[in-house]
Amino acid sequence: MNKKLMVLCMSSMILGGCIPSPKKQTEAITVEENPNMMYMLVGSYATPEEEGIKVYNFDEQNGNSQYISGIKGISNPSFLIPSADGERIYAVGEDSGKSSTANAIKFDKEQKKLTLLNSQPTDGGAPCYITLSPSEKFVLTANYIGGSITVFPLDKDGKLKSETRLISFTGNSLDKERQTQPHLHCIEFTPDHKYLLASDLGTDQIHVFPVSENVTDGVSHSLLNESEEFNIKVESGSGPRHICFHPNQKFAYLINEISGKVIAFSYDKGKLNAIQYIEADTVGAKGSGDIHISPDGKFLYASNRLKADGIAIFSINQEEGTLTKTGYQLTGIHPRNFIISRNGRYLLVACRDSNSIQVFERDSQTGLLKDTGKTIKTNKPVCLKFTF
């Protein structure tokens, strides 16, 4: 075959589609196509007319992200939690009165589409945290105003049932402006799945409930053993907010919103024993927020708002569980929740009042953060979660 004929044949193959064209740069690379890709879910303060929940692709190797979907119709879906398979998302509707809700959402990964399954009232004001039980047969919300927990059973399709259980608390504490009543801020199951911990900012306590799911004919009828509830008291005026566990499950760490201190605890069978108090907020801002540990268990991070907005960085003594402050990273305005990629390379911060999500690269040896400049612009982001 001469050269002229060969060129003509090659041209015909390309025009006929025999040689596939590369993927357009604007097309979203899916999680299924790239093992380094994760879905990032973003909850925010929003009106029902806005996309209050958004989904992005996030590549944990290079820190790049791309918007792929969103959903309207929910008022203030500020905090959310995905199911283990990522096919369902549960979100609060953080309104202050009777319009406050919990919401079940379907995530169709093939169509990249979010669909509201149903909503139910929480009967408690300003739900600011939501979680799934270990069996994923219940959803629970922490209701800030009035201080309560709402327990929702789920049906076989993952919808919220209307037969709810409201667990209310009483009491107050030292701060006469912010601790006149209970304020539930976080509910977390312990890693052994045997207890639920509820952080009460208003009474300076962690309420502890043994978990005992009553199952009949494959249906769960109860979750928390309320008769065996006990409380763990912290320093007056602390304002317990969020809690996290070390990967070794021997230690837990609580960020306190009002005092700005992190409390390090040893953990064993539902018992938390304080071993250290250390400041994350050193300027008296009284706005500490979220807390997380790097996947390797070597560093702890805590967000602070209202003054010197940023992330406090601590190294963790692996044997004793104690903390040493090693750095501080300034962020955008009002950093709320943040998240660390599963490989530990990136830390992303929801900066509510900067209308942005900042992407920081982590130094795995020092724990320090470096702003990558790969900022995601989005309205009033509050909560970030990864799913796959």
pLDDT tens series, the chain, 388 aa: 444 444 444 443 333 333 333 344 345 556 667 889 999 999 999 999 999 999 999 999 999 999 999 999 999 999 999 999 999 999 999 999 889 999 999 999 999 999 999 999 999 999 999 999 999 999 999 999 999 999 999 999 999 999 999 999 999 999 999 999 999 999 999 999 999 999 999 999 999 999 987 655 555 557 999 999 999 999 999 999 999 999 999 999 999 999 999 999 999 989 999 999 999 999 999 999 999 999 999 999 999 999 999 999 999 999 999 999 999 999 999 999 999 999 999 999 999 999 999 999 999 999 999 999 999 999 999 999 999 9
The Cα angle at residue 55 between residues 53 and 56, in degrees rounded to 5? 140
Residue 26 confidence (pLDDT): 44
Residue 15 confidence (pLDDT): 38
Spatial CB neighbours of 40, under 8 Å, sequence gap ≥ 6: 55, 56, 57, 58, 65, 339, 348, 384, 385, 386
Residue of 315, 297, 327, 304 lying closest to 255 (CA atoms)? 304
Q: What pTM was estimated for this model as a whole?
A: 0.91
Let me know if residue 352 belongs to a domain: no
Let me know if residue 247 belongs to a domain: no
Contact between residue 55 and residue 70 where contact means Cβ atoms under 8 Å apart:
yes
Structurally, the chain folds into a number of domains equal to 1
Q: How far apart are CA 54 and CA 39, in angstroms?
A: 10
Domain that holds residue 214: 74-233
Where do the H-state alpha helices sit in 19-144? none
Residue of 304, 311, 309, 322 lying closest to 346 (CA atoms)? 311
Let me know if residue 97 belongs to a domain: yes
Residue 103 confidence (pLDDT): 98
Let me know if residue 353 belongs to a domain: no
> Burial level of 80, CB count in 10 A (0-12/13-18/19+)?
buried
**pLDDT tens column, 133-191:** 999 999 999 999 999 999 999 999 999 999 999 999 999 999 999 999 999 999 999 99
Torsion angle, CA of 240/225/196/86, rounded to 10 degrees?
-130
Let me know if residue 205 belongs to a domain: yes
Residue 34 confidence (pLDDT): 84
Contact between residue 244 and residue 284 where contact means Cβ atoms under 8 Å apart:
no
Let me know if residue 192 belongs to a domain: yes
Residue 214 confidence (pLDDT): 66
Neighbours of 86 (CB within 10 A): 17
Let me know if residue 96 belongs to a domain: yes
What is the domain-level CATH number for residue 133? 2.130.10.10
Let me know if residue 6 belongs to a domain: no
Q: How far apart are CA 322 and CA 263, in angstroms?
A: 9
Residue 222 confidence (pLDDT): 74
